[in-house]
Structure 1
Amino acid sequence: MADGVSRPTLLLVHGAWHGAWCWKKLRSVLEADGWRTRAIDLPSAGGRAGMHDDAQTVLGELELIDGPVVVVAHSYGGIPVSQAAAEAAGNVSHIVYLAALQLDVGESLLGFVGAPVPPEPRDFEPAPNDPIAMFYGDVPRPEAEEAVKRLVPQSTKSFSDVLTQAAWHTVPSTYIVCEDDQALPAQSQQLLASRSGAVHRVESSHSPFMSKPEELAALLAKIALESDA
């Protein structure tokens, strides 16, 4: 088993409308177990940046990390991670898609969900009308309400930008299906998961890093250690 020095670093990449703050509970559990973690804020959350700008942010963070990296991408975050890890200098040892959009070259978020690009697209997409039901169904209510206050508008461009590279074709990947997800239904996740080398399931809403951080941390540790074997 890898020790605390040789273990890969876990880079956590959030989804739409969120920020690095959403990983706080999970990072606490992982770091208490000796894991090094990093989390970034994607510029499309609260700004007009597109998916490729997000990918450059991920790539810039990867370049700052010494040694192997396991990237954990949540939801929309799977798209810029797939783009960025394909351009990285080889330190990404594994990608974990957590209820994430594991898209292929030529695909976009809007295209995957079957939504056309509006003729006059807005600059921003507001958070869903009922974010607690959508994202935090099994999160304690007070905590979910606090999370809702931190959500920001998401750049519309990030939803329409198309992948030009997809790292999972060359980098090993694992998909984690969240079975009670109301944001990305489990059936859609299962379709995406067929692109990964391995699939795990958790009985959770869209945000197990908040509702089941211990269970998720244990699963991520298992995946990361196996990737480093």
Structure 2
Amino acid sequence: MTDQRPTLVLVPGAWHLPSTYDLLRGELDALGYPSLAVKLPTTGPDARGGLRDDADTIRAAIEAVSGPVVVVAHSYGGIPATEAVTDLPHVQRLVYLAAFVPDIGESMYTLLGAPEPDVVEGMFPIGADPRAQLYADVPEAVADLAISRLVDQRHQAFADRVTRAAWHTVPSTYIVTEQDASLSVAVQEQMAAHAKDVRRIATSHSPFLSRPAELAALLDEIVRG
């Protein structure tokens, strides 16, 4: 690896805007890592499109970076990142953070073993208790702000199937969130089997909000590894 620090391209999950990574980006900056967070088209406001639109946006963000890139994708974001990151030689690694890891022909529904709906138009609602589901160990003020920033999410993105799977050719790491009430550890471990390297962090679903310094240090360790 060269002395040049890669840019970390951060992909949020469903219902989340790029601002969800603000605390983590501050910690990464302190460690000397440039970063950018992607706004997915299928998340509001003005949500549109499906999986392919998200993947195209991620790919465009990566292609705009000069120099090496590490992609970090959270939760649903793992699906469009898997579609997007193939055949980009300056991507050094794909990090799945409590994320879905599909193979070709799979969707979020197939990964969860759920029946695919007949209609996927419109928005998919957030759970009734996002604090418990997503932010159980996040400081109250930070969680309140995160909840206030949640936006609409297009349903189609959950049902679309991937046509490419970057983890077949791109070095990948899976970070298991061990106290996750949204994506169970058992499901995470099944998907982590696709990764070359598996790490763990003792947090809920959103370590970028609950333990941003610890997560930044873990990402630094993965990049340097």
TM-score under structure 2 length normalisation: 0.96
Q: Distance in 2 between matches of 1:131 and 1:122?
A: 23
User: Residue 13 of structure 1: which of 2, 11, 18 is its match?
Assistant: 11
Amino acid in structure 2 at the alignment position of 1:42: L
8 Å Cα contact 1:7/1:225 also seen in 2: no
1:22 has 2:20 as partner: yes
Q: Specify every segment of 5 or more residues in structure 2 that has no aligned partner in the other structure, as ranges.
A: none
* Residue in 1 that maps onto 2:198: 199
3-state DSSP of counterpart to 2:215: helix
- d(CA) in 1 for partners of 2:142, 2:8: 24
**Aligned 8 A contact 1:48 1:157 in 2:** no
Q: TM-score, normalised by structure 1?
A: 0.94
Q: Which residue of 2 aligns with 1:80?
A: 80
Whole-Å separation in 2 of the counterparts to 1:224 and 1:192: 21
2:85 counterpart SS class: helix
The question of whether the paired residues in 2 share the 8 Å contact of 1:2 and 1:225 is answered with: no
Runs of 4+ in 1 over 4 A off after TM superposition: none
Distance in 2 of aligned mates of 1:56 and 1:215: 30
Q: C-alpha root-mean-square deviation of aligned residues, in Å?
A: 1.2
Aligned to 2:138: 139
Could you list the per-position Cα deviations for residues 143-191 of structure 1 after superposition, in whole angstroms to 9, with x for gaps in the alignment?
A: 1111111111110100000010000000000000000001100110011
Where does residue 92 of structure 2 map in the other structure?
93
Query: Which residue of 2 is the match for residue 33 of structure 1?
Result: 31
What amino acid is the match of 1:68?
P
Q: What is the CA-CA distance between 1:127 and the residue it aligns to?
A: 1.1
TM superposition shift of 1:119:
2.1
Matches within 5 A, 1:15-164: 15-46=13-44, 47-86=47-86, 88-164=87-163
User: Do the aligned partners of 1:10 and 1:72 also contact (CA within 8 Å) in 2?
Assistant: yes
Question: Alignment length, in residue pairs?
Answer: 223
Structure 1 stretches lacking a partner, 5+ long: none
State the percentage of identical aligned residues: 48
